[in-house]
Structure 1
Amino acid sequence: MNGMSVDVPEMEELLRPVPVARYGDDADGAARGGALHLSSLLPALACAIGHPTPTAVHRDPDEAHRKLGLPEVESAVVVLIDGLGYWNLAMRLGHAPYLRSLMNEPANQRPISTCAPSTTVAAMSTFGTGTCPGLTGMTGYTQRNPETGELAQMIQFRQAIAPRDLQRQPTVFELLRDRGVRVTSSGLPKFAASPLTEAALRGTDYISNVAPRDRVLAAADAARAPGLTYLYIRDADKIGHTYGWDSDKWIGTFERIDAQLALLRRSVPKGTLIVITADHGMVSSDPQRRIDIAVTPQLARGVAMVGGEPRSVMLYAQEGEDPEDIADRWREFLGDGAQVRTRAQALAEGLFGPVEPRVEPMIGDVLVSAVGSLTLVDSRTQTAQAMQLPSVHGAHTMLEMDIPCLIDLA
């Protein structure tokens, strides 16, 4: 396949797992990660606007700034497009003249890595704090609340620890604000004080607008003053989950997103840095490769609770059950259809980055990451709609893990 100016691998390759991305400034010898990681973007941007801001993972933000190739500016806008993975973008460039113009630049033909799992909860906190899920405590769409033993949903924080009690890392926005730097977010009103914003993206002056055009123009107006502006665009993910990322409706949404980005580019002051990224990519699910844990005795045995999401499952063992035994049963059943790790193995591999002791019990005893188009659902706790989403994410494949880092200077 070919995506205009970018050579796109065959889908079979895109649906294979990639090596674990490494965190931190000393990870540049790794196959993936280091400066080329979602966690490095805000530290690098803070450096670009003249306010180097170390984090618990990126203690030398100038290194990330240099390796990402960001120019030094007074004002920067970072745009995060939910669900617009690098390869999803590359395969649809014919519908996006502005993004296509950026992808024609060799420096922008370099994907960076998101975190594992490749899902909004984990990625937003990784992005906002410049750290990793092992420090933020935001490790999956659903995860165990160690205070109650219940399964917590981490978008709305249902049955969850309170946002600031759970996510204790300062955000890069907070660190900049506390040093007197202007930090502005432009987004939908309902996200202004949402639990996810409070946990992962707190510390900005939030400007609310309902209309996409108004949100873009508000971001452009904010960029007239020195500092950092954050613009969130959710529609690619929302439409992808509802209709499929390869649907005509998704393409129409993608075209509108491209128009919004072009408007931003026209509207910001000359000399403004624009960086466009995402939290994860998306894959098309296959109903023929959907497995319901609830009706599969070999998979349900010994499992007290199923967390995560259909592409990245976290299994919590029943009392007295050995996670190794659960992992062995799952490996035997799924074969090469998934990567199965115990928590100990995942932590040893650095899957979540450095992990605080308080976060460990939030992570499943066994972690299962889908390969190919497999999905793993649980009809005991999930709705029919949730089990049948046409496009999903969360696993460690190239299509889900690779995200754009597109740089433009107005």
Structure 2
Amino acid sequence: MPHLGLLAPRYDDGGLAGVLPGVARSIGVPGLEHVPSVPMRPARRAVVVLVDGLGYELVRRRGGHAPFLRSLLPAAYRITAGFPSTTATSMGTFGTGQPPGAHGLLGYEVLVPGEDRLLNELSWEDGPDPRTWQTQQTVFERAAADGVAVTSIGPGYFDGSGLTRAALRGGRFRAADQLPARVDATLAALRAERRSLVYLYWGELDKVGHVHGCQSWEWGDELEAIDAELARLVRSVPADTAVYITADHGMVDAPHALRIDLAHDAELAAGVRHVGGEPRALQLYCEDGATPDVLATWRERVGERAWIRTKAEAVAEGWFGPVREENLPRVGDVIVAMRQNFAIVDSRRARPQLLALLGLHGSLTQEESAIPLFHVPARDSA
């Protein structure tokens, strides 16, 4: 059965924020002693694979499609992605080792303070300078400064993108399209350097889940292909290499019949100047003075379908972790994290392709927030 109760975000050793700092520390990068991480054995080289959309509960329930990952599951860590459980935010958390409130990548779409517009932090279209929007040093930058050969492997259009420069800057980038080619590039990068950290990203599982749903046979087929390549990677790495496999979020199927469209609901739309976030994790930026009325209306109308908080409440409850003062204006006045399989869309501005998606994420349910951390230690110690 799906686990759709609230999963409180964690930004200590039980969260995504600890993964990359822990890996870097395991290969000897200094200055990370006080950065939370899960226990990791020393190694000379390390690979971190991030499979977009590979939720812990999905692996557990659909493990028949992934015999290799299923064999690792008993020893895997069940960690949390943070809030919102969405790629742009999780990449910031992963890449910096900091909670969203610190790195400032606070959602799929967030307000640009002083400009009265939303920034899509995934596409970064017409976005600000990534280095001024996200000022925290990345773990890749720390590792590269210590002489580690850092290589990121992913689709070519990620090279130099706004999100990459904000969250994952540092080291070199190697483009490869298909997963087998990315595994080959990973192995080549490892063999080329005695002390190395390689990051491999794969996003197709998330795409398939969005279009067909994470309960579909198409999702299962994609997981099978990923599982086979991950097994090949682990078999083929040098003996002094540790391999870590994790994700940025999980997913739920959100049937269209359970959705509310703000374009056809004047009561819910009243007083809302910008609808940020995404359908499972909305951030409402209200007209001046309208926040109390918006909050009351949304709690009355959709309070049974969502966890609804004011900005102050969400911050106080630690949804974003400690929030830096300069990042507070990016947070919505009202935060709406959907329960169960519900979603709220706004067809006045969302593209039809996005409205058509079946699989969604972003909220605080276990299905969306719980992610795995698989660890295959090096066969030879560092």
Once the two structures are superposed, the pairs formed by residues 104-183 of structure 1 within 5 Å of their partners are: 106-108=74-76, 110-183=77-150
Q: Is the 8 A contact 1:312 1:394 kept in 2?
A: yes
> CA offsets per residue over residues 260-296 of structure 1, 9 Å max, x none?
1011112201131101000000000122210011221
Which SS does the other structure have where 1:353 is aligned?
A: coil
Q: How big is the shift at 1:314? A: 0.5
Q: Is the 8 A contact 1:114 1:279 kept in 2?
A: yes
Bigger CA drift: 141-150 or 364-373?
Answer: 141-150
Q: Is the 8 A contact 1:309 1:394 kept in 2?
A: yes
Which SS does the other structure have where 1:404 is aligned?
A: strand
Q: How big is the shift at 1:378? A: 0.5
Q: Which amino acid aligns with 2:224?
A: E
Q: Is the 8 A contact 1:114 1:280 kept in 2?
A: yes
Q: Which amino acid aligns with 2:140?
A: F
RMSD between aligned alpha carbons?
A: 1.4
Which SS does the other structure have where 2:273 is aligned?
A: strand
Is residue 377 of structure 1 aligned with residue 345 of structure 2? Answer: yes
> In 1, Cα distance between the equivalents of 2:285 and 2:360?
22
Q: Which amino acid aligns with 1:86?
A: Y
Q: How big is the shift at 1:84? A: 0.5
- Which of the residues 268, 277, 302 maps onto 2:271? 302
> In 1, Cα distance between the equivalents of 2:102 and 2:39?
27
State the partner residue of 1:228: 197
Larger relative CO (CA 8 A, sep 6+): 1 or 2?
2
Q: With structure 1 as the length reference, what TM-score do the two structures score?
A: 0.89
Once the two structures are superposed, the pairs formed by residues 204-353 of structure 1 within 5 Å of their partners are: 204-224=171-191, 225-321=194-290, 323-353=291-321
Once the two structures are superposed, the pairs formed by residues 58-69 of structure 1 within 5 Å of their partners are: 60-61=34-35, 64=37, 68-69=38-39
> In 2, Cα distance between the equivalents of 1:158 and 1:364?
20
Q: How big is the shift at 1:320? A: 2.4
> In 2, Cα distance between the equivalents of 1:373 and 1:404?
22
Q: How big is the shift at 1:319? A: 1.7
Q: How big is the shift at 1:338? A: 0.1
Is residue 17 of structure 1 aligned with residue 6 of structure 2? Answer: yes
Is residue 202 of structure 1 aligned with residue 169 of structure 2? Answer: yes
Q: Is the 8 A contact 1:43 1:53 kept in 2?
A: no
State the partner residue of 1:7: none
> In 2, Cα distance between the equivalents of 1:328 and 1:204?
48
Q: Is the 8 A contact 1:38 1:115 kept in 2?
A: yes
Bigger CA drift: 144-153 or 361-370?
Answer: 144-153
Q: Is the 8 A contact 1:53 1:172 kept in 2?
A: no
- Which of the residues 396, 399, 402 maps onto 2:364? 396
Which SS does the other structure have where 1:361 is aligned?
A: helix
> In 1, Cα distance between the equivalents of 2:332 and 2:263?
17
Which SS does the other structure have where 2:326 is aligned?
A: coil
Q: How big is the shift at 1:385? A: 2.5
> In 1, Cα distance between the equivalents of 2:14 and 2:186?
25
> CA offsets per residue over residues 88-138 of structure 1, 9 Å max, x none?
1111111112111111xx321x31011100000100010000002112221
Q: How big is the shift at 1:325? A: 2.5
State the partner residue of 1:73: 43
Q: How big is the shift at 1:330? A: 0.4
> In 2, Cα distance between the equivalents of 1:97 and 1:124?
27
Q: Is the 8 A contact 1:298 1:333 kept in 2?
A: no
Q: Is the 8 A contact 2:29 2:142 kept in 1?
A: no
Q: With structure 2 as the length reference, what TM-score do the two structures score?
A: 0.95
Is residue 83 of structure 1 aligned with residue 53 of structure 2? Answer: yes
Q: Which amino acid aligns with 1:406?
A: F
Q: How big is the shift at 1:376? A: 0.5
Bigger CA drift: 207-216 or 269-278?
Answer: 207-216
- Which of the residues 333, 336, 339 maps onto 1:368? 336
Q: How big is the shift at 1:147? A: 3.4
> In 1, Cα distance between the equivalents of 2:263 and 2:337?
18
Bigger CA drift: 38-47 or 223-232?
Answer: 223-232
State the partner residue of 2:69: 99
Which SS does the other structure have where 1:336 is aligned?
A: coil
Structure 1 stretches of at least 4 aligned residues deviating more than 4 Å after TM superposition: none
Is residue 354 of structure 1 aligned with residue 354 of structure 2? Answer: no
Which SS does the other structure have where 1:276 is aligned?
A: strand
Which SS does the other structure have where 1:256 is aligned?
A: helix
Is residue 42 of structure 1 aligned with residue 10 of structure 2? Answer: no
Q: How big is the shift at 1:167? A: 0.7
